[in-house]
């Protein structure tokens, strides 16, 4: 069968895998993906063939998966969270036109915005935006514009990739943009290592968030003007109350 499953495995390894994702990996002849993500499921499939590539070789990984599927083998291309949210679904589907004999199937997963939100309570209970602060694939000017528009619209905001060694100040810059339109007392939160060892969570204000030193394994949540801290939870009202 000439088939590629693009599988979101969710945070936390086995605990974050949906039954549909597990079924796709069971059917695959070979598992393909970024090294860190494959480590999350390696113990589940000790006898399966594994193909890994380092970060920033996503297109090469997709081409390998499609070429392998064209040869008659079933491939599960793994990514963290949901494959359609900063995942591998879009690059693979952009290339699949060159492989008309290959059938692609996108297998949904649980993205960090949702799994992290559950740990904080309900920070995304109303309209929200998701923005990555990584400028590897998106110019910083575009990121700034999206942050500004989200803040002007009073959206709750989820930030992926808030900082790294090369981007140590990106979260601080993002907070400065948001503070033009949001109160310094806006309720915020962050979650680190979702579903993994060393999981942490914290609720704080936007002014305090600006001074936090986070990392790439952290997902950040900024509330809207109605978001509150209730009994240790971050809650954005759905709007049922008057």
Tell which wins on pLDDT, 238 or 241. 238
Predicted confidence at residue 41, as pLDDT, reads 87
Total-model pTM: 0.92
Q: Give 146-173 pLDDT, tens digit per residue.
A: 999 999 999 999 999 999 888 889 999 9
205: Cα separation from own chain's centroid: 23
Predicted confidence at residue 22, as pLDDT, reads 94
Answer yes or no: are the C-beta atoms of 70 and 94 closer than 8 Å.
Answer: no
DSSP state of 242: -
Q: Give 175-232 pLDDT, tens digit per residue.
A: 999 999 999 999 999 999 998 889 999 999 999 999 999 998 999 999 999 999 999 9
Element containing residue 118 per DSSP (H, E): helix 112-120
d(CA 21, CA 10): 9
Answer yes or no: are the C-beta atoms of 138 and 112 closer than 8 Å.
Answer: no
């Amino acid at each position: 069968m000439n088939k590629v499953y693009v599988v979101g495995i969710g945070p936390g390894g086995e605990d974050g895998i949906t039954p549909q994702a597990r079924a796709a990996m069971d059917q695959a002849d070979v598992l393909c993906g970024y090294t860190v993500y494959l480590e999350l499921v390696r113990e589940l499939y000790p006898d399966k063939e594994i193909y890994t590539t380092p970060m920033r070789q996503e297109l090469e990984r997709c081409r390998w998966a499609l070429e392998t599927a064209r040869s008659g083998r079933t491939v599960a291309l793994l990514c963290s969270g949901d494959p359609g949210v900063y995942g591998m679904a879009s690059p693979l589907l952009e290339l699949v036109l060159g492989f008309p004999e290959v059938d692609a199937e996108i297998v949904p997963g649980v993205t960090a915005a949702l799994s992290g939100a559950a740990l904080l309570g309900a920070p995304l209970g109303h309209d929200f935006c998701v923005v990555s602060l990584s400028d590897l694939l998106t110019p910083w000017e575009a990121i700034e514009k999206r942050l500004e528009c989200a803040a002007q619209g009073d959206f709750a905001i989820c930030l992926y990739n808030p900082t790294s060694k090369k981007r140590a100040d990106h979260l601080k810059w993002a907070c400065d943009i948001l503070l033009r339109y949001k109160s310094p007392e806006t309720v915020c939160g962050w979650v680190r290592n979702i579903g993994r060892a060393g999981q942490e969570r914290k609720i704080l204000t936007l002014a305090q968030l600006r001074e936090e030193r986070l990392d790439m394994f952290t997902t950040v949540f900024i509330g809207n003007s109605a978001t509150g801290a209730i009994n240790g939870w971050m809650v954005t009202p759905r709007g049922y109350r008057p």
